[in-house]
Structure 1
Amino acid sequence: MVNDKFISAVPAMRILENEHRYLSHLMNEWHSIVLNIQNNAYPLDLARAEFARLRSLLIEFKEPLAKHTKKEETFFFPLLGQYIGYEQGPIMTIEQEHEEVAAYIDHFLHYSDGEFAMEEMQAMARDAGEAFEILTVHFVKEETVLFPMTAQVMRKGDTDRLFEDMHTLIV
């Protein structure tokens, strides 16, 4: 998303764009904590409290992210793959990024329950930072490569069906 307007003219892609906006908003809430921990911006007691809040925010983030990802992998990618191929190229790369983001978040959540020294929190927060970076670029790739490709290659009947299939909430 370059600005407040939707990039795609395809209503089904606008659903995904809107979800990207929401997920980006949530990401920004926890990414600021990641940066502050990594940059030693907090005294230890506050760092521990913010680290616990980071963990809580990531737990809350997992559900809408998983619903968004499932929606893309269940409806969007298989249909687009019928037009452009599925086993290689942009769809495969995007799906690998879904797995990578989930792995970073799960790794962070697995190890981050407890009280830690500053250095340990900084090391663990890197996983959340990596998830943020991958997702940020990932959204741009989808919006600048896959969504325009959908507008170019997909028949209207298919985009209409895709809209109906994806017109569900992620929260």
Structure 2
Amino acid sequence: MFVPMNCGMSGNNEIKLCAPLQRLKKEHTPLTLQMEDLNELALKIGKDSSIDNWKEPLLQLRENVKQFISELDPHSEREEGVLFPMIGRYIGITTGPIAVMEYEHEKAKSNINRFLELTVNLQDNPSAEAAEKLASYVIEAYLTLSEHFMKEENVLFPMAERMLTAEEKEELELKINQI
């Protein structure tokens, strides 16, 4: 059976995205770099037997997570508040790609918020095991968002490029520029 080379996820990279979709995709680069740094820090927590107090590494991770969230939130709002509803007019929002994207946003935010909640009044000397458990929320958010960004770039953004009219793309640009 012959399968054209432009089918599937890899072929979508060939689609030229309009300016607002390109902007959303471009925003993934610095966010991904931050996420990778967070993941790297989180993976080290609880692992070094020469460290007997994990409070400082956890507080550093907490500060980095807060900085990341301050940059992730506007990006998420541009997607959830503008792009997803526009695509949803065509494909619906209760099932399918939009429902999956929103679920992944919520899953990542839930893990990040759980980490922040549990580290707000950190005990004096969390054990390595307790510290590792706390850091695992950041690792889980990283894994969710990494896969999520890939799906958006390879599936959702190309789908939006094909579906949205020129007028809708102008509306998308106006609205995301306001956030």
TM range (shorter): 0.7 to 0.9
1:102–1:144: structure 2 CA closer, same or farther, 3 Å change rule?
Answer: same
Q: Is the 8 A contact 2:45 2:132 kept in 1?
A: yes
**Cα distance in 2 between the residues matched to 1:126 and 1:134:** 12
**1:121 partnered with 2:106:** no
Residue number in structure 1 paired with 2:75: 68
Query: Aligned residues: percent identity?
Result: 29
Superposed CA RMSD in Å reads 2.2
Q: Structure 2 regions of 5+ residues with no counterpart?
A: 1-9
1:91 corresponds to which of 95, 98, 106: 98
Q: Cα 1:108–1:149, aligned 2, differ >3 Å: closer, same or farther?
A: same
Kept after mapping to 2: 8 A contact 1:6/1:17: no
- Asked whether the equivalents of residues 33 and 51 of structure 1 are also in contact (C-alpha less than 8 Å), the reply is no
Written as runs of structure 1 = structure 2, the 5 A alignment for 1:52-63 is: 52-63=59-70
Kept in 1, the 8 Å contact 2:18–2:161? The answer is: yes
- 1:146 matched to which residue of 2? 156
Letter in 1 for 2:135: A
Q: TM-score, normalization: structure 1?
A: 0.87
User: Which 5+ residue runs of structure 1 have no aligned equivalent?
Assistant: none
* Contact 1:107 1:127 survives alignment (8 Å): yes
User: Is 2:36 aligned against 1:28?
Assistant: yes
> Residue 5 of structure 2 aligns with which residue?
none
What SS does the corresponding residue of 1:9 show, helix, strand or coil?
coil
Q: TM-score, normalised by structure 2?
A: 0.84
Pairs aligned (count): 165
Alignment partners' CA distance in 1, 2:111 and 2:15 = 29
Deviation at 1:140, TM superposition (A): 0.4
CA shift at 1:50, angstroms? 2.1
